[in-house]
Structure 1
Amino acid sequence: MKKGILFLLIFTGLILPAITHAHVKWFATVDPEKVSIEQILSPLFITITLLCAVILAVLSQVMGKLMDIPLAAKLDITLDGFRKYSRHLLKYGTALSFILQVSYGTMFAPEFAITDLWQTVVMWLIIIFLLIPHHYSTKIAALFMLGLFINVWGQAGWFHMLDYGFYLAVIGVLLVGRTKFETIGFPFLYLGTGLSLCWVAVEKWVYPVMTTEIIQQHHVPTFGFPADIFVLLSAFIEFVVGYLLVVGILNRVLSVVVTVLFILTTTIFGYTEVVGHAMIHFVLLIFIIEGVSFYKPPIRIHKTRLDQMIFVSLNFIFVLSTILLIYYRFA
């Protein structure tokens, strides 16, 4: 029991830097300044990448031991009993997050302001249809969400909106409810949320000046690290969190820790943080309830421990390299 609590405390301390400034676009006051690829791929960057790959390989084998803790096993059984409410939580949680957004005068994120009356009307239509307890009403709301998302996408650009790709996953889950494709909904939500976190993390490597400015302006603690090193490390931690969600490791523990930290960041960034991360809170709450009950994680494809360790580590390097190069190419 003591070992489990110690692990959670250490893990919380490690990922705090990443979550503290998860969406730099919301709070940065300086123009984005793209650094060269040579600056990003520094010896320190490559060293940390390899170190993360090794740690993830080991983590894939030791995290199952958490369930040997009596309290963790009991909690797991308790959470299983709430799975029947997961879709209701997503439906009404989305409605609540949209109420917060429209009252704040924004759509999907604090950076997208409502500028026309029709956008306000559509936001309220989404909310009303989500609050109606019928799956056809839910699908209508999802279609309105998709149309509004595409409209914002057209204005902001596809590259920018990839930060919020998890909304497409949410829309997908709402659309496939009560259909033969229902079982693929939540796995898609895992994938979309994890990749969104990875994508946002890369921004800190490509545009480190924005994050550094936020650290200085809001007096974010760097725990003794220079600001540039702190930004590099926090981006790695955020990327690893997203990757772990995708490969199906530590989902419940991750969701609990990230949710607590999102709540703590409101003390730094205030109500904007609440509005911006409300939807993510409900998604993480679903992950806490569901664990990997419906999701066959990619790591399960491999049967032996050695194969799983090799898969997790090499796949991490591949995913990181691919997302970083795509982001840099179109940034």
Structure 2
Amino acid sequence: MINKKMVTFIVALILATPITAFAHVKWFAKVPAEKIPIEEILSPFFLTFALIVAIVLAVLSQVMDHLLRIPWADKLDKYLNNLRKYSRYILKYGTALAFIIQLLSSSMFAPEFVITEMWQTIVMAGIIVALLIPHHFATKIGAALMLGLFISLWNEYGWFYMLDYGFYVAIIFVLLIGSTKIEGWGFPFLYLGTGLSLCWVAVEKWVYPGMTIDIVANHGVPTFGFDPVTFIIMAAFVEFIVGYLLVVGILNRILGLVVTVIFILTTMLFGATEIVGHAMIHIVLIIFIIEGVSFYHPPIKMHRTKLDQMIFVFLNFIFVLATFLLVYYRFA
């Protein structure tokens, strides 16, 4: 019975997750960013919802094994394990594909970074060619070019703005250390970088809710019966939770599948811009689905007893949430 209930829960989660949680609001909002007072962000609903989420995550950390105890899970797990040897190739050639899509749309890394100079086109082409060459030295050259291009945008837009795309730093790191003694550090860093990026982008929706409200109104996004303000708070929590769970190492394969489905749904609403902006994320999620936590020692495993693990997840989530919110608000 528990397996059926858990499966039903996962299906409901996929269907009910607010799809604007993963739409990058800067790409679609037509209104200027206006920061609201911190008192409005820390509303009674926000605080209550945060506590409920922390409790649910604490319990989830102990029942996650039951989520995988379904008849076909073991076979699927073995099949995915056999695909792990292809993970680095998927990242390498998937990154090349993502950059091809970006170059065809005259953008770099994200739709908002438009190519304006010939040297940028040349560098983008160089990255693609280097990554398509089946040799690790060529991969490192491509990664170095990516790093240089990313730094140029960092200098132009500032570190705070570019933190939205911090996962690219993790991708570059994985590609650079391939075929070296520290190659094993790559994918854990990719989990960390992607998770933290999702958490960071989620906070934007709390600090600048007006942009998300504009998207909900102009793109006909369903709010499932909630008023827009409440809906946005919950939508941002969904994104923050996914990022947090990737960092702490809980349900990585299921999360990868859930987020992939959600990104497909957002593409139906937002079209080509969504494809260009999230192509790279799709590649990363495919790797998460294949890898699970095979190489990653989750922080939760530092604690042995179930009670200690639950307390850790509860307190750690509150701490991480408060830290991200206060840091973002301070520099926004």
TM (norm. structure 1) is 0.98
Asked if the contact 2:18/2:223 (under 8 Å) is kept, the reply is no
Which portions of structure 1, spanning 4 or more consecutive aligned residues, are displaced by more than 4 angstroms?
A: none
Q: Aligned with 1:97: secondary structure?
A: helix
Asked if the contact 1:165/1:196 (under 8 Å) is kept, the reply is yes
Q: Which of 2, 5, 8 is the matching residue for 2:7?
A: 5
Asked if the contact 2:23/2:266 (under 8 Å) is kept, the reply is no
Task: State the partner residue of 2:238.
Answer: 237
1:237-282 per-residue CA deviation (whole Å, 9 max, x = no partner) reads 1101100000000100010011011112111100110110000000
In structure 1, distance between residues paired with 2:297 and 2:145: 30
In structure 2, distance between residues paired with 1:312 and 1:17: 25
In structure 2, distance between residues paired with 1:282 and 1:99: 13
Task: State the partner residue of 1:280.
Answer: 281
Query: What is the 5 A alignment of 1:1-331?
Result: 2-19=4-21, 21-331=22-332
C-alpha deviation, 1:18, in angstroms: 4.4
Instruction: Name stretches of at least 5 consecutive residues in structure 1 with no aligned partner.
Output: none
Asked if the contact 1:130/1:137 (under 8 Å) is kept, the reply is yes
> Kindly tell me: are residues 131 and 279 of structure 1, through their superposed partners in 2, closer, same or farther at Cα, counting changes over 3 Å?
same
* Partner AA of 1:35 in structure 2: I
Instruction: Name stretches of at least 5 consecutive residues in structure 2 with no aligned partner.
Output: none
C-alpha deviation, 1:13, in angstroms: 2.6
What is the aligned-residue identity percentage? 65
In structure 1, distance between residues paired with 2:80 and 2:160: 37
Q: Aligned with 2:72: secondary structure?
A: helix
In structure 2, distance between residues paired with 1:271 and 1:170: 23
Q: Aligned with 1:190: secondary structure?
A: helix
C-alpha deviation, 1:17, in angstroms: 3.4
Asked if the contact 2:199/2:244 (under 8 Å) is kept, the reply is yes
Asked if the contact 1:4/1:69 (under 8 Å) is kept, the reply is no
Asked if the contact 2:196/2:244 (under 8 Å) is kept, the reply is yes
Deviates more, 1:61-70 or 1:198-207: 61-70
* Partner AA of 1:31 in structure 2: P
In structure 2, distance between residues paired with 1:164 and 1:268: 22
Deviates more, 1:262-271 or 1:206-215: 262-271
1:212-248 per-residue CA deviation (whole Å, 9 max, x = no partner) reads 0000000100011000110011011110110000000
Asked if the contact 1:105/1:114 (under 8 Å) is kept, the reply is yes
1:40-90 per-residue CA deviation (whole Å, 9 max, x = no partner) reads 111111111111110000000001112221211111111000000000000
**Number of residue pairs aligned between Structure 1 and Structure 2:** 330
Q: Aligned with 2:17: secondary structure?
A: helix
Deviates more, 1:64-73 or 1:48-57: 64-73
